Amino acid sequence: MYVLSFCSLGFYLYPSADDYVFRSLLRDQGFWQSQITLYTSWTGRWFNTFLVLTASQINPMLLLWITVAFNVVALYVLFSETNPKLPRGAKAGIALLSQAVWFSFVPALNETFYWLSGMPYIWTAAFSLLCCATLIHVLRSKTRGVLFYFLLLLVFLNGLILETMGLMQIVFLFWLTLRFMSHKDYFSLHTSGFVLLTAAASFLVLYLSPGTGARMGEGGQNVLQTLGVAGVFGGITSLKFFMKPMVYLVVLYMPVIAVHAKPFDEAISKRLRAGHIFALMIFIALFQQAIAGWAMSMGLPARAEGLVIWIMGATWLFLWSFGYRNEKVLEKIRSLRIYPWRNVLLVLCLLLNGNFISLLQDLRVAPLYAAEQQDREASIIRQKNEGKKDIVVSALTVKPRLLFFSDLRPFSSDWKNQSYAEYWGVRSIIALPAPLLKEGAFPEGKGVETLGIETLGIEMIKMEALAAAGDTEAQFMLGEIYDTTFASSKEVPKDNGTAAKWYRMAAEQGYSPAQRRLTRFYALGMGVPQNYLYAIGWLLRSQF
């Protein structure tokens, strides 16, 4: 029921900016030409774009169910290989419970499970589960049959989805190959060696593509900057991970797991200590952030942070379940007063976490969100039928936390607006705060249906009055209009100092997007004196 409740929110799903880019490409260029365009000019993640272009032709609600089902199947296969003696019903129950924990655990559900642009992060995770399960089966069976070649295919495709997972595969397989080499286990050595070469070839295909080169050249960060970004964001991700009660519930279940799950490797089990597991989690967070800084010259977006936390969580669960064995520690856990209450604590963690509380609120407001989206589309169609090429719509007032991705901007030159306008076949689209578009809000008494784009420069005074009255959305919009990072609007001159002023007003009211913008301003000295302490302070406020 927990999983079904999250999936049900998808009934109110509407496309975001990236989705419109893919749909427009498909409509204008066709599937294969779109694939070539994306590979050569935007992203070299060949299998990523293949998945997304294919998925963009499927009903969003159906796609969500397919994604979740694929994830649950991958979890089931992994549990089957690591603990084959469990009954099928138990393995299915554990897979569903693990999916529920994932929903409660991963941040930015709106960017991962509900949008095309986040879908590859989930599919990459599911593919990696299948890779682990297949590798375990091949190594235990000591035979290289059909499953071995299936493993090579999985590893190759997984490396073509995301840089972070591609490099993670290489590091893991390199370590595994060295280990088999030291133990003179030649069957396993040859197996892991073949898989390592496949992972390296996959990463080279991704890395050497024109699209990846273009993306990596945009930020221009040097090595020290990348390591600095990795340290800050990796530290925050580690802190977020260890702040989650669900992390420690795994340890509380250890005595039960130890009875039913045989360690994957007895040699590792004898040497593994709790400190090693904690240190590895921190290393994963720093390493993954360094990859993001190197590849994209920026901090991890929320959906990528979700992938990092997933990798940390999967490693945490795997090492405790199939690696760590210390009878003295297990006995201490059994003697804890809270040990008999572990099931109650698990239910409380699921029901009282932020994602589930947001879900309950979102299910109440999601119909209003969908109604606003329907009204917006009806307004666009109505204005198009009137012969207008420049469209003005109302900014969304209802934004479900788990559904809302990003709205249109108040200037038409932004790429989100441009992709939206291209999809609808008009010259430009902008979104203004709803109070400005009410009947009678303009001197001529015009509303949204009759307002001309050319008059918007005059109406900046109206938006500033709304922002000065405390409207955080208007404050943030004004910050973006003046922010030199974004495409210019011909009606308003760019001014980072003014942008910082409006961002600060919204940030001080707890508006996290504005807090993240102030982080960048103070880190780079844009419109304000450069101050790393202030940058870290606003970053922490936006993250927690």
Q: Please write the tens of the pLDDT for every residue from 30-55.
A: 999 999 888 887 777 889 889 999 99
Assign 330 a pLDDT band (cuts: 50, 70, 90). Answer: very high
Residue type (1 letter), 72: V
Cα 72 from Cα 94, distance rounded (Å): 10
Instruction: Provide the 8-state DSSP code for 38.
Output: I
Cβ atoms 392, 451 nearer than 8 A? yes
- Say what angle helices 119-141 and 46-55 make with each other, to 10 degrees: 120
Instruction: Provide the 8-state DSSP code for 434.
Output: G
One DSSP character per residue, 15-44 reads --HHHHHHHHHHHHH-HHHHHHHIIIII--
Per the structure block, which two tokens stand in for 133?
């399960």
Cα 360 from Cα 244, distance rounded (Å): 20
CA angle 206, 208, 212 (to 5 degrees): 65
pLDDT above 60 (res 220): no
pLDDT, tens digit (0-9, with 9 covering 90-100), for 88-146: 999 999 999 999 999 998 888 888 888 888 888 899 999 999 999 999 899 988 988 89
Per the structure block, which two tokens stand in for 228?
């600095």
Quick one: 112 exposed, middle or buried, by C-beta within 10 A (0-12, 13-18, 19+)? buried
CA angle 507, 224, 311 (to 5 degrees): 70
pLDDT at residue 440 in the model = 43
pLDDT above 50 (res 195): yes
Per the structure block, which two tokens stand in for 418?
């441009």
Of residues 304, 280, 306, 282, the one with CA closest to residue 293: 304
Q: What percent of the chain has pLDDT over 90?
A: 42
pLDDT at residue 86 in the model = 83
The predicted model gives 423-438 an average pLDDT of 84
Residues forming beta bridges with residue 429, ordered by sequence position: 391
pLDDT, tens digit (0-9, with 9 covering 90-100), for 476-495: 988 988 888 876 666 678 89
For the chain, residues classed under CATH 1.25.40.10 are 457-544
Residues forming beta bridges with residue 430, ordered by sequence position: 392
Cβ atoms 282, 316 nearer than 8 A? no
Assign 267 a pLDDT band (cuts: 50, 70, 90). Answer: confident
The predicted model gives 393-416 an average pLDDT of 83
What residue spans of 119-182 are helical by DSSP H? 119-141, 146-159, 163-182
CATH 1.25.40.10 fits 457-544, yes or no: yes
* pLDDT, averaged across the chain: 85
Cα 379 from Cα 254, distance rounded (Å): 57
**Residue count of the chain:** 544
- What are the Cα distances from residue 420, in Å, to 56, 235, 262, 377, 431? 15, 36, 53, 11, 11
* pLDDT greater at residue 16 or residue 538: 538
- What are the Cα distances from residue 513, in Å, to 263, 296, 301, 398, 492? 45, 20, 12, 16, 22
The predicted model gives 260-289 an average pLDDT of 86
The alpha-carbon radius of gyration of the chain (Å, integer) is 25
Residue type (1 letter), 412: S
Instruction: Provide the 8-state DSSP code for 39.
Output: I
Cβ atoms 391, 380 nearer than 8 A? yes
Q: What percent of the chain has pLDDT over 70?
A: 91
pLDDT, tens digit (0-9, with 9 covering 90-100), for 439-465: 444 444 344 444 444 444 546 777 888
Assign 183 a pLDDT band (cuts: 50, 70, 90). Answer: confident
Per the structure block, which two tokens stand in for 85?
């003696």
Query: 3-state DSSP call for residue 124?
Result: helix
pLDDT above 90 (res 350): yes
Assign 524 a pLDDT band (cuts: 50, 70, 90). Answer: confident
Cα 138 from Cα 193, distance rounded (Å): 13
Cα 477 from Cα 498, distance rounded (Å): 12
* pLDDT greater at residue 297 or residue 228: 228
* pLDDT greater at residue 303 or residue 299: 303
pLDDT above 70 (res 399): yes
